[in-house]
Amino acid sequence: MLILMQFGATDAQVKAVCAVLREKGIEPLELPGEDRVAVGVPASLSADQRIALEAILGRMDGVSKVTQTSSPFKLASLEFRRTKTLVEIKDVKIGPGHFAVMGGPCSVESLDQFRKAAEVVKQSGAKILRGGAFKPRTSPYSFQGLQLEGLKIIKQVAEETGLATISEVMSADMVEAVADHVDILQIGARSMQNFPLLVEAGKSQKPIFLKRGPSATLDEFLLASEYVLNEGNNQVILCERGIIAFDRAYTRNTLDLNAVPVLKELTHLPVVVDPSHGTGVARYVAAMAKAALVAGADGVMVEMHPDPKEALSDGSQALDSEQFSTMMDDLRGLAAYMHLTL
Ligand code: PEP
Ligand code: MN
């Protein structure tokens, strides 16, 4: 439910609406808009509660109208928060007016490998360094990541380079440990509906980078983000990383670029695209990264490796140093054209 106040409604009138809601045990959400204020009701209401509230609120001074919101997600919805969210980490901004590039290897493999990758990321003008320390692998026999040692490497290289960092956390009990070592916590596609993890991430002070599950609808994706927002962490970044469609002969997943303009219409949260997992093929990555920028994404996450053929995970989709730098040059040109700061 959304209570739209009249133009010029006074602060006291808004407060009175909030007080009525609180009396009913509902915590209101004040939503300052460009020209008038709205008050959101994030809770789901029964039909009886809704009718009763509509009758009371609709008659109050300063109220223009009481409407029902259709979206199942509330805190993530653009109806509820009409200013787009800008996530800030160090001097990096993810959100309106900016295009953020996150680059780095799928997995942190050694200090030397990660330093080399970081150097390329930095020199090419990207500001966020990625690298998995805890790796969700389909097979238990595949490389599982350097885990705590990997986190230490990320922290060290961040200190050396000044880059912001992002790494995946796979379980609720590891949120604190990962948060101690990196700037952004990634929740992987396979964990999108790990609800205890989402709740714990919501309690963290760090921005959360939430990847869309390979078979998740956009409503499910936004409802997953709602778990984080509901704990009071507003710094959530959504990431489209490809979904499973019928043809996997040529690409690992189908990058759903439709999701970008649709999500932009539905939510105030920044939307980032991962063309690496989206295609699974290095030679298609730059094209889809550029397409993501033009489609309105707030950034891309791209896997790169100083020596892709030696990579311990996802080598076939990793750009080498030169390919990464060329992609960055192209993105810079497109960002300027779209009036975005890269
Ligand atoms: C990754 O970023 O390396 C990763 C495992 O991604 P996803 O969760 O999208 O598969
Ligand atoms: Mn990967």
211-234 mean pLDDT: 97
Residue 106, ligand 1, Cβ within 6 A: yes
Do 178 and 309 belong to one domain? yes
**For position 47, what pLDDT does the model report?**
84
Q: What percent of the chain has pLDDT over 70?
A: 100
Residue 130 domain-assigned? Answer: yes
Do 198 and 297 belong to one domain? yes
145: left (phi over 0), alpha (psi -120 to 50) or beta: left
Residue 281 domain-assigned? Answer: yes
SS3 83: coil
**For position 80, what pLDDT does the model report?**
84
| Confidence band of 116 (pLDDT split at 50, 70, 90) | very high
Residue 206, ligand 1, Cβ within 6 A: no
Whether 110 has a pLDDT exceeding 80, the answer reads yes
* Domain around 28: 2-67
Integer-rounded Cα Rg, in Å, for the chain is: 21
Do 34 and 139 belong to one domain? no
278-290 mean pLDDT: 98
Residue 188, ligand 1, Cβ within 6 A: yes
CATH number of the structural domain spanning residue 30: 3.30.70.260
What token pair was written down for 319? Answer: 């750009």
Nearest residue CA, atom 9 of ligand 1?
189
Do 212 and 102 belong to one domain? yes
Nearest residue CA, atom 6 of ligand 1?
188
Please give the torsion angle defined by the CA atoms of residues 44, 46, 50 and 53, in that order, rounded to the nearest 10 degrees: -90
144-149 mean pLDDT: 97
Choice among 75-89, 208-222, 236-250, 313-327 with the minimum mean pLDDT: 75-89
Do 99 and 170 belong to one domain? yes
300 and 335 Cβ atoms separated by less than 8 Å: no
Residue 136, ligand 1, Cβ within 6 A: yes
| Confidence band of 182 (pLDDT split at 50, 70, 90) | very high
Q: Which ligand is nearest to the CA of 138?
A: 1
| Confidence band of 69 (pLDDT split at 50, 70, 90) | confident
Count of domains in the chain? 2
Do 133 and 258 belong to one domain? yes
Residue 305, ligand 1, Cβ within 6 A: no
Q: How far is the CA of 189 from the centre of ligand 1 (A)?
A: 6
**For position 31, what pLDDT does the model report?**
83
Whether 253 has a pLDDT exceeding 90, the answer reads yes
Residue 189, ligand 1, Cβ within 6 A: yes
Do 117 and 24 belong to one domain? no
Residue 133, ligand 1, Cβ within 6 A: no
Q: How far is the CA of 307 from the centre of ligand 2 (A)?
A: 15
Residue 178, ligand 1, Cβ within 6 A: no
64 and 6 Cβ atoms separated by less than 8 Å: yes
Do 41 and 188 belong to one domain? no
State the pTM of this model. 0.91
148-156 mean pLDDT: 98
Mean of all residue pLDDT scores within the chain = 95
Do 189 and 329 belong to one domain? yes
**For residue 125, which of 330, 339, 264 has the smallest C-alpha distance?**
330
CA–CA separation, 192 and 221 (whole Å)? 7
Q: How far is the CA of 233 from the centre of ligand 2 (A)?
A: 26
| Confidence band of 130 (pLDDT split at 50, 70, 90) | very high
| Confidence band of 295 (pLDDT split at 50, 70, 90) | very high
**For position 265, what pLDDT does the model report?**
96
Residue 225 domain-assigned? Answer: yes
**For position 46, what pLDDT does the model report?**
83
* Residue from 142, 170, 215, 241 whose mutation best tests the ligand 1 pocket (most atoms within 8 A of CB): 241
Nearest residue CA, atom 10 of ligand 1?
189
| Confidence band of 30 (pLDDT split at 50, 70, 90) | confident
SS3 220: helix
**For position 67, what pLDDT does the model report?**
87
Q: What percent of the chain has pLDDT over 90?
A: 87
Residue 243, ligand 1, Cβ within 6 A: no
**Degrees to nearest 5, angle at CA 290 with 285 and 294:** 145
Which CB contacts under 8 angstroms, 24+ apart, belong to 229-232?
A: 229/75, 229/76, 229/202, 230/42, 230/75, 230/202, 231/199, 231/201, 231/202, 231/203, 232/202, 232/203
Do 45 and 194 belong to one domain? no
Do 199 and 243 belong to one domain? yes
Beta-carbon count within 10 A of 269 CB: 30
